[in-house]
Amino acid sequence: MALEEFTLTVLGAGVMGTAVSSAILNSLVKPYPKKVILCTPQPTDTLKETFAKFDNVEYSFTAEGNKKAVKEADIILLAVKPFMYQQVYDEVKDALTGDQLLISLLAGTTINELSIFTKNVAKVMTNTPARYGCGTAAIAFSPDVSQEQQELVKKLIEPVGLTVCIPEKNMDIATSLIGSGPAFCLLMMESMIDGAVRMGMPYDVARVSAAKVMEGTAKMLLETGDHPAALKSKVCTPGGTTIGGLLKMEDGALRSTIARGIEEAANISASFAKK
């Protein structure tokens, strides 16, 4: 496979498949795909609008079209629902060469299960902010993926935002923390907005303020490298508003509830592979 000219076939151009494809194409990453084929059951105007400015994007909406797209592919981005991977394999198996590189975005499926497509498997867990270039992605590789292929995967995934390489045994945790994490943050953000609105702040002001507080706090944590508890203590003045609010939240076991939520989501992800 010539790194300068490869075809990327996306099996499942849904939310995550679209998010990662958009991040790759908008970044002008090098090497850049000569062609991207988006496979999806239903052609939508939204999908075509998202990729309208890219001349190297094609679409497939039929089973036969998908087989042709897979046969052309140097790299396959698998982004269907986890329970569908066997069905998708059965539909395209005759078009697989065995040497293609598979990048899987599926939760709860193992590298061993995905190796029916090819021995070259990169398992990636990312999240919806990837579409805006501010996502997070964890990557685990099968033993057969060469160093050159690993570097290519990293280059393709880096446009989503932060990337980290982890052993496959940590992927269920990544599914929870990274994949489900935005929903957990949005729940906390929604609660902060509700509190502000309850006390009289206009919703639009509360919404952007809460979002900016989350963004700024995250950047502060990354920039300083300090433990969250250390940064939190710097905000608490004796007898002040912050410590009062924190204690009220602790009354509701907020910290352990969030931690248990991460644990539960990771356990559910692990259970998928056992079915």
Residue ending a domain, choose from 166, 190, 220: 166
Q: Is 13 annotated as a binding residue?
A: yes
> According to the model, what pLDDT value does residue 172 have?
93
**Total domains present in the chain:** 2
> According to the model, what pLDDT value does residue 272 have?
80
Q: Is 15 annotated as a binding residue?
A: yes
Q: Which two tokens stand for residue 233?
A: 């203590």
Q: Is 66 annotated as a binding residue?
A: yes
Which positions of the chain have pLDDT values less than 70?
Answer: 1-4, 273-275
Residue type (1 letter), 15? V
Q: Is 34 annotated as a binding residue?
A: no
Specify whether 112 is located in the same domain as 236: no
pTM for the predicted model, two decimal places: 0.87
Specify whether 121 is located in the same domain as 144: yes
Q: Is 29 annotated as a binding residue?
A: no
> According to the model, what pLDDT value does residue 274 have?
64
Specify whether 55 is located in the same domain as 126: yes
Specify whether 142 is located in the same domain as 180: no
Residue ending a domain, choose from 166, 200, 230: 166
Q: Is 16 annotated as a binding residue?
A: yes
Q: Whole domain around residue 180: which residue ranges? A: 174-273
Specify whether 25 is located in the same domain as 55: yes
CATH number of 59's domain: 3.40.50.720
d(CA 13, CA 28): 19
Specify whether 69 is located in the same domain as 160: yes
Residue ending a domain, choose from 116, 137, 166: 166
CB 109 within 8 A of CB 273: yes
CB 31 within 8 A of CB 3: yes
The pLDDT tens digits for 243-258 are 999 999 999 999 999 9
Specify whether 156 is located in the same domain as 220: no
Q: Is 80 annotated as a binding residue?
A: yes
Specify whether 132 is located in the same domain as 70: yes
Could you tell me the CA-to-CA distances from 11 to 73, 96, 149, 195 in Å, in that order? 11, 13, 20, 42
Q: Is 40 annotated as a binding residue?
A: yes
Report if residue 1 sits inside a domain: no
> According to the model, what pLDDT value does residue 45 have?
83
> According to the model, what pLDDT value does residue 3 have?
58
Q: Which two tokens stand for residue 126?
A: 């990312």
Q: Residue 101 pairs with which residues in a beta bridge? A: 75, 120
Q: Is 62 annotated as a binding residue?
A: no
Specify whether 120 is located in the same domain as 248: no
DSSP assignment of 187-225:
HHHHHHHHHHHHTT--HHHHHHHHHHHHHHHHHHHHHH-
